[in-house]
Amino acid sequence: MNFELSDEQELIRKTVRDFAESKVAPVAEELDREARFPYEIVAELAELGLMGLPIPEEYGGAGGDTVSYAIAIEELTRIDSSVAITVAAHTSLGTMPILLFGNEEQKREWLPKLASGQGLAAFGLTEPDAGSDAGATRTKAELRDGQWVIDGSKIFITNAGTDISACVTITAVTGENEISNIVVPNGTPGYEISAPMKKLGWHASDTRELSFHSCAVPEGNLLGERGRGFQQFMEILNGGRISVAAMGVGLAQGAYDLALGYAKERRQFGKPIAEFQAIQFQLADMATEIDAGRQLVYKAAWLKDHGREYALAAAQAKLFTGLLSNRVVNSSLQIHGGYGFMEEFAISRLYRDQKILEIGEGTNEVQRMVIARHLGL
């Protein structure tokens, strides 16, 4: 048993933490308030190699492992969730399907552009009437004259509508009881993208509704085998859960750090509130639970890196850290008192950014379903 991170993993943590604190923190509040996509930060992340961290070097990525990737997402979320989800959705949901299921030609066409951060990738699974029940997908793709002709709509899609969005991989019904994944490049006629959706949190991340009207793409844009779409997106979600779980740990850590700092400075009844046991116990609980959550996330990442079965660990990590981040942002805001309710205090943004971690990439309930299935129920 070895709990030590490698020298590279430690240096990645330090580097991303340093970057997040000096480049993201100063603009996070403004980006959130103006609901402005962080183009400059994405460009800098790309330069550091963070837009393709776990993508192999031969396709233009940094060739990092899943543990390193989880650490990077955790450290970004500690400062700002909008930036973190932009990287996580681009990597785990947008780029991974092409890496895992694409043929050599598709990989050569897309991965260098995506891993270098020149283009942003999205994944279109959820539909207005197909959320947790993703198998109920209605979007259709019909093969006509060597082209897939797509009709239907997707909702809550991250990264699809930015100026640098390159493509979206969508799930579509391609036959009776048959779901497949197809890559649709931005700019394809018939692929329409809504105005940005207005959200409770993640204001600086790009979230859209997509609609497809007789949208035709080449037959070669099918990812992997026809009819494998369901298994493929299950695999993508398993991996994606590790990154969202890492967001839960990072968000909780960020909220805890804010609470600790505030409690040491805020004086009431003649002394810093951190000297009251009521506050100390809350901070002690937070620190303990965050550590537990982090171990679950790193374990899931480690299992994936070692080619072991990791779906259960990923679901447990996602469920636990979703609930954990909820408790921690709540306690942290409570410690901040009235100031925490004010937008000028970062905790208010972290509080708003939290709830989606219990919904996106599988709700708490879906995680429990996955876990129960692994228990043989």
Partner 1 sequence: MKIAVCVKHVPEGTSRIDPGTKRLDRAGEGALNHFDANAVEEALRLKGDSDTEVVAVSLGPQKALDSLRKALAMGADRAVLVSDDAAAGSDLVATSRLLAAALAKEEPDLVLFGQQASDADGAVLWAAVAERLGRPVVSQAMELSVDGGTVHVKRQTEHGYDTIEAPLPAVVAVSDAINEPRYPSLKGIMGAKKKPQDVLSLADLGVDAGDAGEAGSRTTVLALGDPPARADSQKIEDDGNAAQAIVDFLAEKRLI
Residue whose CB is less far from partner 1, 8 or 365:
8
Residue whose CB is less far from partner 1, 88 or 179:
88
Residue whose CB is less far from partner 1, 35 or 48:
48
Query: Which of these, 19, 181, 156, 158, lies nearest to 99 by C-alpha position?
Result: 181
In this structure, what is the dihedral angle of CA atoms 297, 111, 166, 171, given to the nearest 10 degrees?
Answer: -60
Residue whose CB is less far from partner 1, 115 or 141:
115
# binding residues, partner 1 (CB under 8 A): 18
Q: Which residues contact 208 (CB under 8 A, 6 or more apart)?
A: 157, 160, 161, 193, 194, 195, 196, 197
- Applying CB under 8 A, which part among 58-66, 118-126, 170-178, 305-313 lies near partner 1? 58-66
Q: How far apart are CA 231 and CA 263, in angstroms?
A: 48
Bridge partner residues of 207 (DSSP): 158
Q: How far apart are CA 74 and CA 250, in angstroms?
A: 4
> Could you say which of 28, 41, 42, 49 contacts partner 1 (CB under 8 A)?
49
Residue whose CB is less far from partner 1, 63 or 190:
63
The upper half-sphere exposure of residue 183, i.e. CA atoms within 13 Å in the direction of its Cβ, equals: 26
Residue whose CB is less far from partner 1, 10 or 365:
10
> Could you say which of 30, 34, 57, 365 contacts partner 1 (CB under 8 A)?
57
- Applying CB under 8 A, which part among 12-20, 92-100, 194-202, 228-236 lies near partner 1? 12-20
- Applying CB under 8 A, which part among 10-18, 168-176, 203-211, 305-313 lies near partner 1? 10-18
Q: How far apart are CA 43 and CA 117, in angstroms?
A: 7
Q: Which positions are catalytic?
A: 361
Q: How far apart are CA 227 and CA 256, in angstroms?
A: 45
> Could you say which of 8, 40, 58, 291 contacts partner 1 (CB under 8 A)?
8
Using the rule CB under 8 A, is 41 a contact of partner 1?
Answer: no
Report in angstroms how near the CB of residue 361 gets to partner 1 at its nearest: 24
Q: Which residues contact 304 (CB under 8 A, 6 or more apart)?
A: 66, 239, 242, 310, 314
- Applying CB under 8 A, which part among 4-12, 160-168, 224-232, 294-302 lies near partner 1? 4-12
> Could you say which of 47, 58, 291, 309 contacts partner 1 (CB under 8 A)?
47
> Could you say which of 28, 41, 50, 328 contacts partner 1 (CB under 8 A)?
50
Q: Which residues contact 8 (CB under 8 A, 6 or more apart)?
A: 64, 68
Kindly report the CA angle at 333 between 328 and 337, in degrees rounded to 5?
145
In this structure, what is the dihedral angle of CA atoms 150, 151, 157, 159, given to the nearest 10 degrees?
Answer: 40
Residues forming contacts to partner 1 in the complex (CB under 8 A) are 7-8, 10-12, 14-15, 18-19, 47-50, 53, 57, 62-64
